[in-house]
Chains A and B, each alone.
Chain A
Amino acid sequence: MDSDSVLPRDGTADPVVRPLATADEGAHSRPHRTKWIKILLVWLAALVLWEGSYRIIQWKSWQFPAPSHVVDATLDMLGVRTYFGDPLAEGWPWQRAGAHVHVAAGDAKLPKAIAVSGVRLLIGFSISLALGIFLGMAMWTWSFLDDLLGPLFLGLQTLPSVCWVPLAILTLGINESAILMVLVLGSFFATAIALRDGLRTIPPIYERAGLMLAATNWRLYRYVLLPASLPAMASSLRQGFSFAWRSLMGAELIFMLQNQGLGFLLNIGREFADVAQVVAVMIVMIAIGMTVDRWVFAQIERRVRNRFGLMAAT
């Protein structure tokens, strides 16, 4: 029933209209929870099966590590030496099976690497974002610029970002700026394209309404078009981040610098033929990428879309 039809003329009792249901309103409901428990159980079963089969047949752990080896490698990078991967014996998992000598752990490489990569990401992504937002808005405003750069940027999206590395080395040398160059060149166009596409979906009626309400010149941009572009902004931010993260990891993998980021750790794992470390670093990369995407950018996007009454983003 339309709430207007029951509205008293004197307006004393204002009918309450409930906000639209959002996608995560059911987040804590029972079917949702059992679904997650099921998913978790299946993954757990796979890991147990994997670990169990390694224990039984001892299949080439130097080529493909068991979960316990990955745990060892991860803890080792955090400065804790463990032997979860060893056969169960006295002193497991703190001592090597059979040996009664305690081996000191290496230094905590992982937190340092995460910090180094984080700082690089922060600087590089800021530059990339500024450039992407500027170009995205420019392309939306001037169609000639869009005709000029649009196809180029779409083309760049097909170029893997590590392909910028040789050029960056030749122009800037093997240093921090070269890493930033790869990061920026590998991600700003994604922000620009996503923003331009989002801006195109702003209903023209907002502009007309703004003009009618005396929002002219810069005011139209500041008070109408900028807020109207927030959903587009939020998705372009998210898009830009995933490109930036991938570019940075790729660049760090190839550049051998004093400041050792996550990509460097991955490469060290390869050099020392430490497959457990390789897998551990990959898992850390995925975890960081996913966490930031889910808990920072997806949250921003969700809030903006809820405010606008748009459907919740996936």
Chain B
Amino acid sequence: MIVQQLERAAPVTTAKRIAKPVEWGALHTAPPKPGRLVLRNLSKRFADSKHAAIEDIDLTCESGEFVVVVGPSGCGKSTLLNLVAGMIRCDRGDILLDDKPITEPGPDRAMVFQEHGLFPWLTAEQNIEFGLKMTGVPARQRRQLVDAALRMIHLPHSGHKLIHQLSGGMRQRVAIARALVLNPAVLLMDEPFASLDAQTRTLLHEQVQELWLQTGKTILFVTHSVGEAVRLADRIIVLHSNPGRIRREFKIALPHPRDFDSPEVGDLIRMVRKEIEDEVNRANAEQINGQ
């Protein structure tokens, strides 16, 4: 009880302060995309596996919705994301982004990887610029977009730095900027903060929340951290493992931006964690019985 009181007494963090919205419309010539992502009967089994990694998943991410997929390791979360990214092909089912089927990787589904995947031979700003260059955005417009993106991630003076000169948190911020600057229909995040320390992670949660509120992107976020899920999500999908199915959905009705230390968030974390613990116990029991 004392602990809880202490938590409540903690000052409200910076998440309340939101910077001015980024005027993407003014900088991007392409019309904004709604970013409605529909997965229908999606199934995928890898050749060397007994169970399907993903089986009959039906999931719709509404335009501008923040959906977080959680589940124990090996439950097919990353497979789900890679399918949407177009990195791997599904066996059955459809993936539709704004009613168009997905067949290959592309900048309309920009992804943030766990290991940032930034190019070490380029500086931070060249990394952010890379996708714009590849999609044929003119140099002047690229310059403006990159500057806006650097300001957005609060690194306006670090653009000239090489990737190995940045800290882990800064790298992930650059990776996020590299994805967002493309004005994607949906932003995919694959455990983006798993290898960061706790303080940096909290800071990045605030920033992601802020960026999401600014840009209104649809975000599909995969994590094994329940705390992360409850802090950020509109909706949490708990996956069932072997085969990978949707076990349960939680709608998080708390308003954004959230106070990460509020008792409501704490209660929800306990609730979702319970669900995942049940899932882990079930999977373990099944494995023992199966042997």
| A interface residues (Cβ-Cβ under 8 A, vs B) | 2-5, 7, 9-11, 14, 17-20, 203, 205-206, 208-209, 211-215, 219, 223-224, 227-228, 230, 307-309
Q: How far is the CA of A213 from the CA of B179 in the complex (A)?
A: 8
Complex contact A215–B134 (CB within 8 A): yes
- CB within 8 Å of A: which of B161-191? 161-170, 178-179, 182
Q: How far is the CA of A2 from the CA of B161 in the complex (A)?
A: 17
Q: Give the Cβ gap from A184 to chain B, nearest Cβ, in Å.
A: 30
A-B contact pairs, 24 of them (CB 8 A): A2-B197, A2-B199, A4-B168, A18-B165, A19-B164, A20-B164, A20-B165, A205-B113, A208-B87, A208-B113, A209-B113, A209-B117, A211-B87, A212-B107, A212-B111, A213-B107, A214-B134, A219-B134, A223-B133, A224-B119, A228-B119, A228-B121, A307-B121, A309-B162
The answer to whether B105 has its CB under 8 Å from any CB of chain A is yes
Query: B203 — nearest CB in chain A belongs to which residue?
Result: A4
**Could you say which of B131, B157, B164, B197 contacts A309, with CB atoms under 8 Å apart?**
B164
Q: Please list the residues of chain B having a beta carbon within 8 angstroms of any beta carbon in chain A.
A: 14, 17, 85, 87, 104-107, 109-111, 113, 115, 117-122, 130-131, 133-135, 151, 154-158, 161-170, 178-179, 182, 197, 199-200, 203-204
Contacts A3-B167, A212-B85 hold; do A11 and B154 have CB atoms under 8 A apart?
yes
Asked if A212 meets B110 with Cβ closer than 8 Å, knowing A4-B200, A5-B203, A17-B166, the reply is yes
Pairwise interchain contact B131-A5, C-beta atoms closer than 8 A: no
Shortest beta-carbon contacts, A-B, top 7: A309-B164, A11-B154, A4-B169, A213-B131, A14-B157, A209-B117, A211-B105
Complex CA–CA separation, A235 to B193 (angstroms) = 34
Residues of B within 8 A of A213 (CB): 107, 110, 130-131, 134, 178, 182
Q: Which of B118, B131, B156 is close to A214, meaning CB atoms less than 8 Å apart?
A: B131
Question: Are the CB atoms of B87 and A205 closer together than 8 Å?
Answer: no
User: When the two chains form their complex, are residues A307 and B169 in contact, meaning their CB atoms are under 8 A apart?
Assistant: no
For the complex, give the distance between the alpha carbons of A208 and B85 in Å: 10
Given A11-B156, A205-B117, A308-B164, the answer on whether A214 and B106 have CB atoms closer than 8 Å is yes
Contact status B154-A9, CB under 8 Å: yes
Among A4, A20, A214, A228, point to the contact of B199 (Cβ < 8 A). Answer: A4
Given contacts A205-B115, A211-B105, A308-B164, contact A2 B120 (CB under 8 A): no
Choose one: B119, B155, B158, B162; the contact of A209 (CB below 8 Å). Answer: B119
Q: In the complex, what distance in Å separates the CA atom of A238 from the CA atom of B20?
A: 52
Q: 13 new A-B pairs (CB below 8 Å) besides A4-B200, A205-B117?
A: A4-B203, A9-B17, A14-B156, A17-B166, A20-B165, A203-B117, A208-B113, A208-B117, A212-B109, A212-B111, A213-B182, A215-B130, A215-B134
Give the shortest distance, in Å, between A302 (CB) and chain B (any CB): 15
